[in-house]
Chains A and B, each alone.
Chain A
Amino acid sequence: MLMRMTGGEKAFQIVLVVFITTLCAAMVYPFVHMLSISLSTPAEALRSGFHLYPKEASLEAYKKVFSSEGVWIGYGNTIFRTVIGTCLSVAVMMLGAYPLSKKYLPHRTFYTMFIVVTMFFSGGLIPTYLLIKGIGLLDSRWVLIIPGLISTFSMLIMRNFFMSIPSELEDSAKIDGAHDMRVLFSIVMPLSKPILATVALWTAVNHWNAWFDALIYIQDSTKMVLQIYLRRLIVDNMNQDLQRLMDQSMMGVQAVIPETVKAAVLMVATIPILAVYPFLQKYFVKGIMIGSLKG
């Protein structure tokens, strides 16, 4: 293939490759930097220059992070919302997408419009907040799951997928006496595994990264999610959290400084996603393609 390119084309390819490589380096470097800092001794962390790897390494920062309460609370709550939230979301959206995919549903257009139209307006921050408050969901773990339960976009993608399943399969099941719910669970669901996986992954990532709902609806620090813990350290610069984390003894050499500890918490919050996304990205990509081309 390289043989077939002319000199000019080869040069063009080289320029592109250099450009893309630089871009990729720019994307990857911040993580390498943070990882390095999180594994550095305080002196090494403050050294100026690039940090590709720690010249003086130390696991102290991670020790402090894993022995602190905040990180474990954060992880617990984040895992709760990600697992429960994703399962509930996918289940409910599937229950909604299936009827909407049936052309014989009475007043189908009305119900579809009822749902789709909500993508174009919103009550606004304050009215939504007051509603949540009025229902009594404030300061409950469920506030992280229920208000965000359904993503209209994802549900429509599911609906479109269901619509593409040949009706002969369902019809033959109906002749055998199955009613709609049976058809959904025994026939449609197994066939829809790819789309369910895609939606589940999208939902899971959103839950993992969500922070704003936890910020405004939850005050109880035992219900704090990982992103909020991270935010308090990094954005709000909450010194008490930092002090508790660093737990410095009065004497002796400093084992950690804010920079290394913040870097460690950041890595701990992000590594799960980093480790997992390369393998799952094909689901995401496919999901977007299905959604956009059929949308």
Chain B
Amino acid sequence: MGKQLQVLRTRGKATSGWQQIWKQYKKCRYLFILLFPVLLWYALFSYGPLYGIQLAFKDFKIMEGISGSPWVGFKHFEMMFTASNDFLHIIRNTVIISFYHIIFGFPAPIILALIFNELRLEIFKKISQTISYLPHFLSWVVMAGLLTAMLSPSTGAVNQIIQLFGLKAIYFLGDPDWFRFTLVVSGIWKEVGWGTIIYLAALAAIDPHLYEAAVVDGASRWKQTLYITLPSILPVVAIMFILRIGSILDAGFDQVLNLYNPAVMATGDILDTYVYRVGLTQMQYSFTTAVGLFKNVIAFALVLGTNYLVKRAGQEGLL
């Protein structure tokens, strides 16, 4: 019925394609009044910056602005890979930190979700879930405050415990060898609880009849998990994984910017903090635009690649 109200009526004589389209738009003019500000916003703030991407191929001169600055082709990209070891080092840090985040941080919420799913006492389950969401609601600025206090080599709680065992205090935030570990563990602490939500939703959607049939066939809890639970959440895991890989070059900018310091630059500096520091504070606009572009292109390729592999493996992909 709704569709019939909106059916176009042409008046007998042939109208051109454009006139028909104009009629459609006129009929929906209120919708477009509503939509227009939104489209404008996207045009300006999402597509607008794309204009500035050309800086990656130019040498930015403040006086000339973006359009007036001279073209330099791939000079910046060459510089990235040849000029000094700096850049490759940064990529190395970014990828290593990201890998750690993925290897430990990706399974953590899945495992926690499975554990939450096994709890029988409802009240305990609800309370502990609510508590686990808590760190997600904090900014990394607040986290930095908490972590500096907790991980302090002199008064921090964690080092107190370590020293109880007779070991030497560890300077988690100041020792380049421990910094990555700190990043990954604090990252998990912050997001593991919140990350369980999407998996718990998937777990709740599993047909209980499957479990009943398995019990009848004599399957143990462990076998049930292996053959029913895990395969059932595999589609969700696959999609989350693709998204995760897509952000492999991100490595947690918010976190690193708030936690890093000169002492841990060697292992902690990542692509985004490099772009921020060298680009914004040191004003090397065009070079860092090139770095940013490089990063986005690779990330996009990774998403496409992982999506393709996941589809090959028989799962539904993202795209």
Q: Which residues of the other chain, B, contact A212 by a CB distance below 8 angstroms? A: 254, 257
Secondary structure of the B side of the interface?
A: helix
> In the complex the two chains form, is B121's CB within 8 Å of A17's CB?
yes
Interface size on B, residues (CB 8 A): 88
Q: Which of A27, A118, A211 has the most CB of B within 10 A?
A: A27
Contact status of A167 and B141, CB under 8 A, knowing A23-B132, A126-B280: no
- Expressed in whole angstroms, the Cα–Cα distance for A93 and B35 within the complex equals 9
Question: Are B34's CB and A95's CB within 8 A?
Answer: yes
**Contact residues in A for B51 (Cβ distance below 8 Å):** 123, 127, 131
From A126, which residue of chain B is reached at the shortest CB distance?
A: B289
Among residues 32 to 67 in chain B, which have CB atoms less than 8 Å away from a CB atom of chain A?
A: 32-35, 37-39, 41-42, 44-53, 55, 66
CB pair A127–B50 under 8 Å, yes or no, is yes
Chain B positions within 8 Å of A115 at CB level: 38-39, 42
Contacts of B276 in A (CB 8 A): 125, 216
Count of chain A residues near B, Cβ 8 A: 99
Docked pose: A93 CA to B179 CA in angstroms:
40
Answer yes or no: B305 CB below 8 A from chain A CBs: no
A121 to B7, CA, bound (A): 37
Residue of B nearest to A101 (CB): B31
Assuming A29-B157, A92-B37, A289-B201, is B32 touching A99 (CB within 8 A)?
Answer: yes
Chain A residue numbers with a CB within 8 Å of B34 are 95-96, 98-99, 180-181, 184
B225 within 8 A of partner (CB): no
- Asked if A293 is an interface residue, CB under 8 A from chain B, the answer is yes
Report the bound CA distance from A171 to B1 in whole Å: 8
B248 shortest CB reach to chain A, Å: 15
Q: Which chain B residues border A121 with CB–CB below 8 Å?
A: 296, 300
Encode A171-215 as 1/0 by CB contact (under 8 A) with B.
100110001110010000000000000000000010001111000
Known A-B contacts A50-B157, A99-B32; the reply to A27 vs B38 at CB < 8 A is no
Q: Which residues of A contact B1 (CB under 8 A)?
A: 167-168, 171
Q: Which residues of B contact A30 (CB under 8 A)?
A: 146, 149-150
Chain B residues with CB below 8 A from A170, complex form: 2
Tell me if A234 is interfacial: C-beta within 8 Å of chain B.
yes
Q: Are A105 and B55 in contact (CB under 8 A)?
A: no
**B residues 152-183 in Cβ contact with A at 8 Å:** 154-155, 157, 160
Task: Known A27-B135, A174-B5; judge A5-B258 contact (CB<8 A).
Answer: no
Q: Is the CB of A21 within 8 A of B128?
A: yes
In the complex with contacts A16-B115, A27-B131, A181-B33, A131-B49 CB distance below 8 A: yes
> Chain B contacts of A99 at CB under 8 A?
28, 31-32, 34-35
Do the beta carbons of A20 and B128 come within 8 Å of each other?
A: yes
Cβ of A136 under 8 Å from chain B: no
Most A CB within 10 A of own CB, among B1, B38, B46, B51? B38
A149 in contact (CB, < 8 A) = yes
The verdict on A37 contacting chain B, using a C-beta distance below 8 Å, is yes
> Within 8 Å of chain A (Cβ to Cβ): is B189?
yes
Q: How distant is the Cα of A208 from the Cα of B257 in the complex, in angstroms? A: 18
A 230-287 contacts with B by CB, 8 A: 230-231, 234-235, 259, 262-263, 266, 269-270, 273-274, 277-278, 281, 284-285
**B94 in the interface (beta carbon within 8 A):** no
Which residues of chain A are within 8 angstroms of B66 by Cβ–Cβ distance?
130
- Cβ of B83 within 8 Å of any chain A Cβ, yes or no, is no
With A34-B146, A96-B38, A273-B138 known to touch, is A104 a contact of B3 (CB < 8 Å)?
A: yes
Q: Is the CB of B3 within 8 A of A123?
A: no
Q: Could you say which residues of chain B place their CB within 8 Å of the CB of A7? A: none
Asked if A55 CB lies within 8 Å of chain B CBs, one says no
Please report the C-alpha to C-alpha distance between residue A169 and residue B253 in the assembled complex, in whole angstroms: 46
User: A292 to B201, Cβ gap below 8 A?
Assistant: yes
Check B258–A235 contact: CB distance below 8 A: yes
B93 within 8 A of A: no
Q: Is A180 a contact of B31 with CB atoms below 8 Å?
A: yes
Give bound CA distance, A248 to B205, whole Å.
60
Task: Using known A-B contacts A27-B132, A28-B131, A106-B21, determine if residue A124 contacts B49 with beta carbons closer than 8 Å.
Answer: yes
Q: How far is the CA of A170 from the CA of B1 in the complex (A)?
A: 11
Take A96-B38, A125-B288, A170-B2 as given contacts and tell me if A48 and B31 are in contact as well, using a CB distance cutoff of 8 Å: no
Query: Using a CB-CB cutoff of 8 Å, which residues 148-173 of chain A contact chain B?
Result: 149-150, 155, 167-168, 170-171
Contact mask for chain A residues 32-48; partner B; CB cutoff 8 A; 1 contact, 0 none: 01100100000000101
- Residue in B46, B115, B139 whose CB lies within 8 Å of A211: B139
Contacts of A135 in B (CB 8 A): 44
Residue of B35, B135, B257 touching A100 (CB-CB under 8 A):
B35
Cβ of B145 under 8 Å from chain A? yes
Closest to B292 in A: A124
8 tightest Cβ-Cβ pairs between the two chains A and B: A123-B49, A127-B52, A96-B38, A124-B292, A209-B139, A127-B49, A99-B31, A118-B46
Sample of 7 A–B contacts (CB below 8 Å): A5-B120, A31-B146, A122-B296, A123-B53, A131-B49, A216-B280, A227-B139
Q: Other than A1-B120, A21-B128, A234-B144, give 17 A-B pairs with Cβ distance below 8 A.
A: A13-B118, A16-B115, A30-B146, A96-B34, A96-B39, A98-B31, A99-B31, A120-B303, A124-B275, A126-B280, A131-B48, A149-B45, A150-B38, A167-B1, A235-B141, A277-B134, A284-B133
